[in-house]
Amino acid sequence: MSDRIDRPVTINAAFLQELKEVNQELWQTLDNVRALCGQPLSMRLHSRSLVDLLARLRDLLAMHFALEEAFGYFHHAKEVEPEMDRSAKQLRAQHSPLYLRASELADRAENFWRERDDAMLTAVLPVGVDQFVRDLLQHEAGENELIYRTLYESIGVAD
Ligand SMILES: [Fe+2]
């Protein structure tokens, strides 16, 4: 994920949009995590499900971010609108820390489950999950806005 310094970054809007549309398993897993975290009783009864869902979310995010970075973002040989360059670099740079947080949440869930620490698993962990989901959705909203503006407001490659 190293940046070739000074090369402007832009997005392949059509690819990014399609990737987000076809990745239904990721959004479904995210919905399931959110639903479970909103139901303390279910979480106690199905604590292993939460552990498995968080591990699945981590793996799906790794694939999603890798695909986005491989085909959705690219260094442009020519000029790019400075606003596009700035936003694209900022959003792309969020992938690594988001993945690390997903990974950490999955590891913590697994450890709490192994230690049979129900209080941590069902009361403390969901707070971190909630914050993570909010930040992930904010990242997605940022990319969706960039896609929309690239497709419909013709920001992107400068003349
Ligand atoms: Fe992304």
- In order, the DSSP letters of 27-70 are HHHHHHHHHHHT-HHHHHHTHHHHHHHHHHHHHHHHHHHHHIII
Percent of the chain with pLDDT over 90: 68
Phi and psi (nearest 5°) for 74?
-155, 155
Whole-number Cα distances in Å, 16 to 12, 50, 101:
6, 29, 22
For domain 9-152, the CATH architecture is: Up-down Bundle (1.20)
Task: Return the pLDDT at 31.
Answer: 95
Average pLDDT over residues 36-41: 89
Residue 148: per-residue pLDDT: 92
Q: Give the C-alpha separation, 35 to 22, whole Å.
A: 21
Q: Where does the pLDDT of residue 80 fall: very low under 50, low under 70, confident under 90, or very high at 90 and above?
A: confident
Per-chain residues with Cβ under 5 A from ion ligand 1: 68, 143
Domain positions in the chain are: 9-152
Q: Cα of 66 to ligand 1 centre, how many Å?
A: 9
Q: What is the mean pLDDT of residues 46-56?
A: 95
